[in-house]
Amino acid sequence: MIGKALRMTTFLVAVLSGAHCPAQAADRVKIGVLNTSGDIAVHIANEKGYFKQEGIEAEFIVFDASAKMIPSLGVGDLDVGGGATAVSLFNAIDRKVGVRIVADKGRTEPGYIYQSVMIRKELITSGRFKSWSDLKGLKFAQGGAGVGPLSIINQAAIKGGVQYQDIEKVFMSFPQQVAAFKSGAIDGSIMNEPFKTIVVREGLAVEFAPTEEVVSNYELSLLFFGDKFRQERADVARRFMRAFLKANRDYLNALENGRWRKDGGADEVIDIFSRKLNIPLDLARSITPQATDPDGKPALESIRRDLLFFQDQGEVANKAMKVEDCIDLSFAEAAARELGPFTRKK
């Protein structure tokens, strides 16, 4: 009887001390970020505890270009990444580097004027630039060689009856472009927020037209999974996507008619946006946000247009490559089903 009581006491002590109930370690997920607006959903998911709820510990690794994420995704040193369409992405997939597009992170839509064709103010006021036909001979800046927005420049040139080759392209970061507009070193840019607001505020450039007038529903940023993550850790990848889409919907609920909501519902999201992008809160509030899909569905026609452009330019050699070779939407589709239809909060 005493022995039985002793064994029971020992069992209770073990249970209470946690000896038989070790806490399950969270699954670490390495996420590549650029700390641009395309990363807003992963930051919301982390800040609001959605990753933690899914048993995920997020480790953020900052890159200065999405192309630099691709090799790390391919070998499994990075699980998740993101960025715009690019020659480097398509060629990596063609070379069997293990990476796929798995969801939308941000796009333009009618009313969501996040990206615009910016022209140096002097060219507008002098009358040198009046229409798309005046693109000929101008020096246009873009973030890097082989990036998606170059296809927008091509479409703008077509609108003006100008050859793409007749527009000089130079490559520099958005902060460098601000300085280049000031010095007169560039004439134009396909520029994103918050930089387009900055150059307008400083009187350096004029918003000639939103890119929506050139190419509608343009895919600005995409979510990538490395193959090792989506194939060997599929359960973690599914949980990640569920948290991502939940945060993505919080972001959408902070928007109304292409602007931040004014009733206070957007305050938490704007605060995260300001801190993670390292921009002043008043600037964060004044920009035009990007759109995104609540179910993570990418704008496939936009991706297809960019791929065809790069193939036509000879930068993606595989002419037979298709968008379908580059995507795996199964994780986003499963997460959207589990979360149910998105209903915007009133």
Span 184-229, pLDDT tens digits? 999 999 999 999 999 999 999 999 999 999 999 999 999 999 999 9
Span 62-105, pLDDT tens digits? 998 898 999 999 999 999 999 999 999 999 999 999 999 999 99
What H or E segment, with its residue span, contains residue 332?
Answer: helix 330-339
pLDDT score for 22: 46
- How far apart are alpha carbons 78 and 221 in whole angstroms? 18
- How far apart are alpha carbons 273 and 285 in whole angstroms? 9
pLDDT score for 10: 45
- How far apart are alpha carbons 224 and 110 in whole angstroms? 25
Read off the amino acid at residue 19: A
Q: Which pair of structure tokens corresponds to residue 40?
A: 């807003």
Helices and strands per DSSP (H, E), number in the chain:
15, 12
Span 104-121, pLDDT tens digits? 999 999 999 999 999 999
Span 238-281, pLDDT tens digits? 999 999 999 999 999 999 989 999 877 799 999 999 999 999 99
- How far apart are alpha carbons 343 and 346 in whole angstroms? 9
b/e per residue 154-174 (b: at least 16 CB within 10 A): bbbbeeeebebeebeebebeb
pLDDT score for 28: 98
105: Cβ contacts below 8 Å, ≥ 6 apart: 38, 39, 41, 82, 220, 221, 222, 223, 292
pLDDT score for 344: 86
Residue pair 276/43 in contact (Cβ under 8 Å)? The answer is: yes
Residue whose pair of structure tokens reads 């300085």 in the numeric block = 179
pLDDT score for 15: 41
pLDDT of 11 > 60? The answer is no
pLDDT score for 216: 94
Span 133-177, pLDDT tens digits? 999 999 999 998 999 999 999 999 999 999 999 999 999 999 999
Is the peptide bond between 280 and the residue preceding it cis, with omega within 30 degrees of 0?
no
Where in the chain are all domains bearing CATH 3.40.190.10?
A: 28-107+218-339, 115-213
Least confident range of 9-18, 94-103, 308-317: 9-18
pLDDT score for 6: 43
| The model's pTM | 0.90
Q: Are strands 80-83 and 219-226 parallel, antiparallel or unpaired?
A: antiparallel
User: Of the CATH numbers 1.10.3210.10, 3.40.190.10, 2.40.50.140, 3.40.50.1000, which one belongs to the domain with range 28-107+218-339?
Assistant: 3.40.190.10
Binned at pLDDT 50, 70 and 90, residue 13 comes out as very low
Backbone φ/ψ region at 55: left (φ over 0), alpha (ψ -120 to 50), beta: left
CATH topology of domain 115-213: D-Maltodextrin-Binding Protein; domain 2 (3.40.190)
